[in-house]
């Protein structure tokens, strides 16, 4: 089954004001799908429904072929890693920051996500490696490092689907490239759904879905979309 499936999903925050109007799409296992569209189109709402912060008013949301309503919210969310635009940093070590959603993760697991997200170089440069304090009273991390740390953190519980909200906003070019490399690695291991504005983020995705006013108005490979627009 696909990692994520929306089947004719309708949703509104208020009665008679639908924000999603019959949205259907799939993110295949190991798929890399980008969701683009103007501000207010409903992109974040799709994330909120995928993560089950809300239930759809109509239609179905399925994760790994299982209807969201058929399992507890906790069970549903266990399969999903969510990386929001603001990456909160705990005032503790880099290790504390990585493991807080997966407190029993061992060193091998931590090394795995550090490698996938291109953070190995950073860890090597930190005076105490993973045990260096970061955050308010420790070393500052750059925007790109924070983003990749947030992705590593989300990957530790081994989700089947990672949702990323505007991962490349506020990044300089070098950080953006490092992030893209990381996302390519991530895509080999789990499905990705990325909210994107920038062209470069979209180019890395195998499929692009264009949302406008709560409807999917176009979707396809990057090249395909360029031809038709």
Binding footprint of ligand ADP on the chain (CB under 6 A): 13, 19, 37, 39-45, 48, 53, 73
Distance in Å, CB of 80 to ligand ADP, minimum: 12
Q: Which of 193, 194, 188 is nearest to 169 (CA)?
A: 194
Check the CA dihedral 82-83-85-89 and report its sign.
positive
Residue among 116 and 161 whose Cβ is closer to ligand ADP: 161
Residue among 33 and 130 whose Cβ is closer to ligand ADP: 33
Report the alpha-carbon distance of residue 23 to residue 46 in Å, rounded: 9
Contact criterion met (CB below 8 Å) for 201 and 208: no
Residue among 4 and 19 whose Cβ is closer to ligand ADP: 19
Distance in Å, CB of 177 to ligand ADP, minimum: 25
Distance in Å, CB of 27 to ligand ADP, minimum: 17
Distance in Å, CB of 47 to ligand ADP, minimum: 8
Angle between helices 143-155 and 173-187 (to 10 degrees): 10
Q: Which two tokens stand for residue 67?
A: 């209807």
Report the alpha-carbon distance of residue 121 to residue 128 in Å, rounded: 13
Q: DSSP character for 139? A: B
Residue among 18 and 144 whose Cβ is closer to ligand ADP: 18
Q: Which two tokens stand for residue 203?
A: 């180019």
Distance in Å, CB of 101 to ligand ADP, minimum: 13
Ramachandran sector of residue 69 (left: φ over 0; alpha: ψ -120 to 50; beta: rest) = alpha
Residue among 73 and 170 whose Cβ is closer to ligand ADP: 73
């Amino acid at each position: 089954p696909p990692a994520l499936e929306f089947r004719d999903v309708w949703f509104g925050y208020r009665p008679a004001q639908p924000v999603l109007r019959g949205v259907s799409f799939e993110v295949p296992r190991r798929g890399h799908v980008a969701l683009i569209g103007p501000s207010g189109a409903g992109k974040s709402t799709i994330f909120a429904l995928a993560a089950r912060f809300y239930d759809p008013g109509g239609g179905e949301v399925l994760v790994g072929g299982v209807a969201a309503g058929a399992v507890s919210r906790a069970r549903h969310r266990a399969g999903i890693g969510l990386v929001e635009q603001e990456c909160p940093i705990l005032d503790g070590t880099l290790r504390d920051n990585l493991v807080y959603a997966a407190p029993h993760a061992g060193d091998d697991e931590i090394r795995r996500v550090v490698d996938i997200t291109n953070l190995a170089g950073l860890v090597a440069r930190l005076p105490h490696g993973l045990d260096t304090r970061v955050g308010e009273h420790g070393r500052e991390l750059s925007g790109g490092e924070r983003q990749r740390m947030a992705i590593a953190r989300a990957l530790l519980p081994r989700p089947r689907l990672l949702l990323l909200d505007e991962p490349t906003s506020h990044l300089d070019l070098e950080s953006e490239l490092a992030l893209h490399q990381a996302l390519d690695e991530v895509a080999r291991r789990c499905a990705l759904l990325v909210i994107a504005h920038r062209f470069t983020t979209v180019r890395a995705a195998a499929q692009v879905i264009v949302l406008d006013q709560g409807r999917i108005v176009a979707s396809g490979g990057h090249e395909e979309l360029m031809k038709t627009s």
